[in-house]
Structure formats: C-alpha cells, structure tokens
A and B are shown apart, each in its own frame.
Chain A
Amino acid sequence: NAGVTQTPKFRVLKTGQSMTLLCAQDMNHEYMYWYRQDPGMGLRLIHYSVGEGTTAKGEVPDGYNVSRLKKQNFLLGLESAAPSQTSVYFCASSEERTSGRWETQYFGPGTRLLVL
C-alpha cells in the first residue's frame, strides 16, 4: 500500500492565483483531514471529512475549500492565494470508528506551498 499520498510536493503561486491540492489514500479510511504547519505554530486543522460526501470546518478554514467526492480522495482548494497561505500542508486519514485503531491518524509527506 502507498498509504497517504499528496500531489504536488511543491508549488509556487502568485497572489490571487488558485490551485487544488490532492490527497489520496489507499487504506479505505473513513476520515480524512487537511492541516497546515507553520514555524512555531504546530499543526492546525483546516478542514476534515468524516466520510464520502461530507466535509467540516476545522480550526483555520478561511480561504480554503474542500471536497470529498470519492472516499479515497480529499481535495483542498485555494480560490485566491495569499502570502499568508505560504505553509506546508499535510493530509491525514484514519479508520472508521468501529475499527480498533480509529483514533490513529496516518499522514502524507506534505506539500510545500509558497505564495509570492
């Protein structure tokens, strides 16, 4: 299994441009999450999904949108990128609640985004 993969690995955007980050997992996990990591701030939850077709806001959702049309994919969109969105973005997934390991999250390798 590839686990959790993220595309792209690195991207440079100009202010105002849009882009979509793709997260894919091949573990049939029910839950998926998007975090951003900034120096000195730890990881902060942007949006998450508790199942296909569902999404919910996390701690810092402003400026981002998400979609979970397929169970294995979770997309994070930036409609109009701002320099404040320069960060490293991590996707994670976890099993459904009936699983004995549902609380554990599995992370992707990250996407580095630079907004100029």
Chain B
Amino acid sequence: SQQGEEDPQALSIQEGENATMNCSYKTSINNLQWYRQNSGRGLVHLILIRSNEREKHSGRLRVTLDTSKKSSSLLITASRAADTASYFCAPFTGGGNKLTFGTGTQLKVEL
C-alpha cells in the first residue's frame, strides 16, 4: 500500500461554494478511495474510483482520477456547513487489503 498526499492542507469556503481537494500518489493502484472524518469521529467511506475509471459521481461529490499523473481530485458542490470535516484519500494497491492515509485536507464551510 502507499500513502496519498492531500492538497491543500486546509480549505475555508462559504456555504454554497464548491470545494476542491486534490490527492497525489506514487505508484500504480487498483483503486483510490476518499474518506471523511468529522471532528472526534471515525472515518466514513465516501467514494471509490477504480483505476480504469476517469470520473465518478455520488450525490454532490465528484471524483476524478488521472492515472497518468497519479492524481485524483474530490469536488464537493454546493457545500454545506455539515460538510466541515477532514477529507482523506487512500490509494489502494491490493496488497494485504491495506490502506494508507495521508494527513488529509481540513475543510471548513462557513455560514
């Protein structure tokens, strides 16, 4: 498994705006996953995109994957205060079914 690196480390936006966060990784992957962590809580799985997919949607979430650049982005549209959380990407290589998480992007959505 390998670690993803999220960028930016912190992001502050107004409610209703879109939030974009990026992830870079180093080696080939089977899939890439995004997780959310609300303050003081466990991580929650948001979305998984496979290496043969370029874009995936789930509600207000849009994930893209560019395997040639070894990067992914997570877009949250029409953000809400409840979206305030840390977001982690987790590249998955399949070995031992292990995920490795980076330090995350801290998103703050202000009213």
Tell me the A residues contacting B by CB distance below 8 Å: 4, 31, 33, 35, 40-43, 45, 48, 50, 56, 58-59, 90, 92, 94, 97, 102-110
Contact = CB atoms under 8 A, between A and B. Distances in A.
A107 B88 CA distance: 13
Nearest to A33: B98
Nearest to B42: A107
A43 B99 CA distance: 10
A93 to B, nearest CB: 11
Contacts, number: 56
Contacts of B25: none
A105 B41 contact: no
A103 B41 contact: no
Contacts of B59: none
Given A40-B103, A97-B97, 14 more contacts: A33-B98, A35-B101, A42-B3, A42-B102, A45-B98, A48-B96, A48-B97, A90-B42, A103-B33, A103-B48, A105-B43, A106-B45, A109-B41, A109-B42
Interface in B85-105: 88, 92, 96-104
A31 B42 contact: no
B96 A43 contact: no
Interface string B12-45: 0000000000000000001101010000111111
A114 B58 CA distance: 38
A56 B96 contact: yes
B88 A105 contact: no
B96 A103 contact: no
A83 to B, nearest CB: 22
A56 B103 CA distance: 24
Given A56-B96, A94-B97, A42 B104 contact: yes
Given A48-B98, A58-B98, A110-B40, A104 B104 contact: no
26 contacts: A4-B42, A31-B97, A42-B3, A42-B103, A42-B104, A43-B88, A43-B101, A45-B100, A48-B97, A48-B98, A58-B98, A92-B43, A94-B97, A97-B97, A103-B31, A103-B92, A103-B97, A104-B45, A104-B48, A105-B99, A107-B35, A107-B44, A108-B42, A109-B41, A109-B42, A110-B40
